Structure 1
Amino acid sequence: MGPKNSYIAYIEDHSGNGTFVNTELVGRGKHRPLSNNSEIALSLCRNKVFVFFDLTVDDQSVYPKQLRDEYIISKTLGSGACGEVKLAFERKTCKKVAIKIISKRKFAIGSLKELVDSALNVETEIEILKKLNHPCIIKIKNFFDAEDYYIVLELMEGGELFDRVVGHKHLKEATCKLYFYQMLLAVQYLHENGIIHRDLKPENVLLSSQEEDCLIKITDFGQSKILGETSLMRTLCGTPTYLAPEVLLSIGTTGYNRAVDCWSLGVILFICLSGYPPFSEHKTQVSLKDQITSGKYTFIPEVWADVSEKALDLVKKLLVVDPKARFTTEEALGHPWLQDEDMKRKFQNLLAEENKLLALPQVSPQPSTSRKRPLKAEAEDTKTTKRPAVCAAVS
């Protein structure tokens, strides 16, 4: 029956098209208990319209007060080596955001140098994001420095490009073109502003929606380097599969420049078009380093049979071992494969739609009117006042 003075919040389905709780169909005439952070969808399980918050569950107190004053933190969207990303809602507008939580405690496990480097990476990411303003680069909305770092970012509903490629095995060429065009625009903007990303990979490219045709945004600037006068760097960083040859060969010797991002873009394009990486230690005795530094990769005929020669040519122009001969973002944008007016028009329409949505006024959420059934035990004691559960509308 549950503890005294406890409640059950539930939803009852009276719809003709179906009501879903956490992607599961409730069923007409049936009801289902709701737990904190339950997602309610109508007609289709992906058509989410409400998130149920039970304010009697005090799971917000683990977050700093200044963060709680502005946001309601919801479910975990993803996690990594240094922290996690949470879905959250702005209290004033009920607008969804992503909060990247970076654990300071995990930094403390390593050496003092690792602790300092990790802290600097976070500060670098914040400083870089604050300065940038481009439709294909993730925007920072807020930042809190407490026991952990909390970076409030715009939410990308479509998740990572990596998951999209894995889920579809590979992407249609037209879809690849739309995404890659946006990646090039973003990286060109970074380079024009003296920034090298240094860790471009499908996991760091986010999609605005679950629709096939959507905007993309580049994120995760923890490895970025703002170019100095010499524009050379001697730091080995980034993900090995996507590292340029000169990065692997530069340890303690020569430096490298913005051409490293163009190599990484070539690897990403290769993966999007084919579904497999150009460089891998799977089924080969050749080390990853030797594969990359020699520029040896294979186009599997049956996989690439339906890919155009123009797309193949751009991949080859980007995966050039000599950074001086490698295509720049400007040259890639001028490549015949990307001279597609329909694709560019589609991008502009998506951009206009996003700007229109951003311009719409936001309405503060109202408490849910969904019924709340007390357990029998609580009828014996009605003196205790409980804070109500609320449903926040999902825009």
Structure 2
Amino acid sequence: MGNCLARPKIPTVQHEPPKVQEEAQPDLACAFPPVDKQSQLQRSLLGKRHAEDVTEHYEIGRVLGAGYYGTTRIAVHKGTGEVFACKSINKSRLGDGDAANVRSELQIMHHLAGNPNIVTLHEAFEDHVYVHLIMELCSGGDLVERIMSKGSYTERDAAAAVRKMLEVVAYCHELGVVHRDLKPDNFLLSDPTERADLKATDFGLSTFIKPGQQLSEVCGTAYYMAPEVLLRSYTEKADVWALGVVLYILLCGRPPFEHALDEEIFRMVVDNGVPDFTYHAWDNITEPAKECVRLMMTYSDKRRPSARDMLGHEWIREGGVAGSNVIEPEVLHRMRSFAAMNKLKKKALLFISQHLAPDEIRGLRELFASMDADGSGTITLDELRTGLASRGAALPEGELAALMAMADVDGSRELDYTEFVAATMHACKVQHEQLLIEAFQHFDTDDSGFITREELEVALREHAADAGQLQGDIDAVLAQADKDGNGLIDYAEFVQMMLPGDRASQCNAAKFAANWARTHSQKRSSSSSMQQLNDTATSGGDQQQQECCKCAAGT
């Protein structure tokens, strides 16, 4: 790339603390303590002198969501019956910086008021314990949820979604506001109807910015942070990068830089922040769509287009070239990828799927249950057909049957839970170094550091129809995985086979292999030293025995 960048010190990202589930509070008195309106506020966040009682004006109802700082509930105005969302922030949980963010969020929402695509703040109340923000209620979910609920969607749908986002962001930038935490979760729909308005929300990390001003505070959500944010010198164009990441996800179903650790994501972005289009999901995406991603994720923010510039792009503008080609549902992507894998890789994924933490595959468990219509614990061909069709993937019967047969590792003609998880889990789940080691060792039964042809025969024999098929399966595995042609699969070759072919994943493969080589080199060195000690002890023992024999013989 030619970017001569020093590796930055990995910053601490300003995140909201982990969400906690508050207990249900049916009794309002338990939720909000009585308010003495005559008492003065000692330290007011909103600059108010006296405490205010939100319950005088609103009936506070069921909980919509809970987080570390507070809870959002339904609020019905007692005079008009109009329904709002009441975000109640517990002041005792706010540090000085958090309090400043709350004040800034209120100022910015007032500044941006009047735009139909930004959530409206109606009024705010403060008492001794809480700040209550009465906001427009968005009951339609977030934009990506809406797109996905349609089962299938097209490039034209993705272009329309990003166009709406860019319009909001251009409006903010032109009024001197940078959002700094743009992601799909922060774009909501006003109601469940097809004609619902898109609403940008959560301006908690937003700030005012002047033309030419450089910001330095590192904040946001790891997947969406621009390289210049991590390097602590950025402008409002960091928002354009974030929307480029959103578009990348809309088009292929995964983020451009992914890892379990935020610090690793930061390194990928700063060291080589170029979006990768080698993932198979990009095969059917048009070049103008890819060009939009490249432009919005241009590494240098000086060369990156503005939000307003991107609105004029031929793929994004209304009536532009974005076509009606269907973007394949992610679940079908994953099943097709699994079906095309060699038998060893399938068996390894089965092993890994059985060792993932329950929380990591909760969503897949729910997806499995939704497709297992009769609750039998397996998915039949009919259930797979119905489940895929409901997600916009109606396959021809022959292709469906072939997909089922290739995913059905044990040949039972049904998919059990383990097979389903192995076939549908995200590729990032495979990038657990320890799980890859355990999977390799599962097949390397003699701990030689290699998977031999004999070990492959043991691993694959159970589900082979006959000896001919078994040998064919083994040949296919070795043809793909045995890169040096020695008839063995070492750990480096195994990891390269297991991880996706994109650049970031193969960098991980090289790193995992180097870690393995270093660890096992140390073990071999230790083992060799122990052997030398044993040899010395044996040699000494033999010499001592010889001396004893000489004495016994009187020589």
**TM tier, smaller:** 0.5 to 0.7
Could you give the per-residue CA deviations for residues 130-159 of structure 1, whole angstroms, max 9, x where no partner exists?
111211111110111222111111111112
Q: Distance in 2 between matches of 1:61 and 1:171?
A: 44
- 1:291 and 2:268 matched: yes
- 1:138 and 2:119 matched: yes
Partner of 2:204: 222
Contact 2:178 2:239 in 1 (8 A): yes
Q: Distance in 1 between matches of 2:231 and 2:174?
A: 26
Between Structure 1 and Structure 2, the one with more strand by share is: 1
Contact 1:175 1:213 in 2 (8 A): no
Aligned partner of 2:234 among 252, 256, 267: 256
CA displacement at 1:169 relative to structure 2: 8.4
Partner of 2:168: 186
CA displacement at 1:217 relative to structure 2: 1.0
For 1:102, what is the secondary structure of its paired residue?
strand
Could you give the per-residue CA deviations for residues 9-40 of structure 1, whole angstroms, max 9, x where no partner exists?
xxxxxxxxxxxxxxxxxxxxxxxxxxx99xxx
How do 1:1-395 and structure 2 match up within 5 A? 62=33, 66-107=53-94, 115-132=95-112, 133-146=114-127, 147-161=129-143, 163-164=145-146, 171-211=153-193, 214-228=196-210, 230-250=212-232, 255-281=233-259, 287-293=264-270, 294-341=272-319
Could you give the per-residue CA deviations for residues 150-186 of structure 1, whole angstroms, max 9, x where no partner exists?
1111111112335446767885433322221111111
Change in 2 beyond 3 A, CA 1:319/1:158: same
Q: Distance in 2 between matches of 1:340 and 1:184?
A: 12
User: Tell me, which stretches of 5 or more residues in structure 2 are unaligned?
Assistant: 1-23, 36-51, 322-555
Contact 1:197 1:225 in 2 (8 A): yes
Q: Percent identity?
A: 31
Could you give the per-residue CA deviations for residues 62-87 of structure 1, whole angstroms, max 9, x where no partner exists?
47563111111111112233222211
Could you give the per-residue CA deviations for residues 239-274 of structure 1, whole angstroms, max 9, x where no partner exists?
111110001112xxxx21111111011111111222
CA displacement at 1:102 relative to structure 2: 1.6
Between Structure 1 and Structure 2, the one with more helix by share is: 2
State how many pairs are aligned.
280
Contact 2:214 2:234 in 1 (8 A): yes
Contact 2:188 2:201 in 1 (8 A): yes
TM-score by length of 2: 0.46
Contact 1:60 1:73 in 2 (8 A): no
Further displaced range: 171-180 or 143-152:
171-180
User: Tell me, which stretches of 5 or more residues in structure 1 are unaligned?
Assistant: 1-35, 38-53, 108-114, 344-395
Contact 2:275 2:297 in 1 (8 A): no
- For 1:137, the aligned partner's letter is I
For 1:159, what is the secondary structure of its paired residue?
coil
- For 1:141, the aligned partner's letter is H
CA displacement at 1:341 relative to structure 2: 3.5
- For 2:96, the aligned partner's letter is V
Contact 1:170 1:272 in 2 (8 A): no
Higher-RCO chain (CA-CA 8 Å, sequence separation at least 6): 1
Q: Distance in 2 between matches of 1:206 and 1:316?
A: 26
Q: Distance in 2 between matches of 1:296 and 1:339?
A: 24
For 1:209, what is the secondary structure of its paired residue?
coil
